[in-house]
Copies of this chain bind each other. A is one copy, B any other.
Amino acid sequence: MDAITRLGYRPNLVARSLRLGRDNTLGIAVTSITDPFFAEVVSAIEETARGHGFSAIISCTGESDGAEETIVSGLLNRQVAGMIVVPTGADQSYLARKYAGVPVVCVDRPPVGIECDTVLVDNEGGAFLGTNWLVLHGHRRIAFVGGPKDKFTIDRRRLGYSRALREAGIALDPELLADVAILPAEVSAVIPSLLALSEPITAIFTSNSKASLGAIDALHRLGRTDVAMVGFDDFPTAASLVPPITVVSQDPFHIGREAVELLLHRIAGEHETPGRMLLPTNLVVRGSGELRPSQGKARVSQTSTKHKSDLVV
């Protein structure tokens, strides 16, 4: 101990890792750390991992198909003990082909071409909850806004939306599906036409937080505070907007924590068949989702939407 300080000895973790053939490092491949949802997930992963003596190497894959395999392979070549992946590529079978034996947990979307533990939220149920909430408040012309189509989560959410309409006996109108957009600006652009239909929408269900921001921006530009709205995913200022935005929220921290625990179990040698964990969503009632269909273009006065503490259903 004396010598340690005197000579300034520091253990070389690289050498240890080579000798031991294992490394207390988890590889994390996530689409974008800038998205507040994934930022929370990654934060939870990093924190939980550190609590177990692991550190996390984080890389961003973007949404482009090409990057995932390169990035994940790079992490695996670093001899990480396990990987947490948000799948973006069309196919994750390279993991089984080239890196069999290294435990992988998928998050947010299920893997294609392989079997592994997966942490998902109940996208379909959450979207049903949110859409149904609008239905319960008298809406029958409800737009589904935000895409793109091919993403797993959006697909599931569209299913929940459709089921809510179906169960309410409302015919699905393809004109109300604005699922081509991905950037807030594109979402913004699509809202005016939905409001200008011969039978205009009275409510909007947005399929993720980017879509919510776009829709909010569009409504704001139009000066419309009378359009009901429920968004999938919470975001920081949701409670301070006019009206405050009712959202279906997932718990990103929970997701990250579960992913790490599952992964550590596998690393410890658990050999059960891979499972899927489906985490619940909550409806956070704030105001925008409780607006009734407006007659014409009446505007809800600002003071009528009083602030109340968030009410979680």
A residues with a Cβ closer than 8 A to B are 8, 10-15, 17-18, 23, 25, 32-34, 36, 39-40, 42-43, 46-47, 50, 55-60, 71, 73-79, 98-99, 213, 216-217, 220-221, 223, 225, 235-237, 239-242, 244, 302-303, 307
Contacts and interface: CB of A to CB of B under 8 A. Distances in A.
Given A33-B42, A34-B43, A240-B220, A13 B55 contact: no
Nearest to A99: B10
Nearest to A27: B55
Contact of A14 (B60, B78, B236, B237): B78
A30 to B, nearest CB: 10
Given A14-B78, A242-B302, A302-B302, 12 more contacts: A10-B73, A12-B79, A14-B23, A14-B79, A33-B39, A33-B43, A55-B74, A57-B57, A57-B58, A216-B237, A221-B307, A237-B237
A79 B13 contact: yes
A19 to B, nearest CB: 9
A287 to B, nearest CB: 11
Contact of A213 (B40, B225, B236): B236
Please list the 5 inter-chain residue pairs (A to B) with the smallest Cβ-Cβ separation, ordered nearest first: A237-B237, A221-B307, A216-B240, A39-B39, A220-B240
A48 to B, nearest CB: 12
A34 B40 contact: yes
Contacts of A235: 236-237
A78 B242 contact: no
Nearest to A23: B14
A50 B47 CA distance: 23
Nearest to A210: B236
A269 B311 CA distance: 57
Contacts of A244: 220
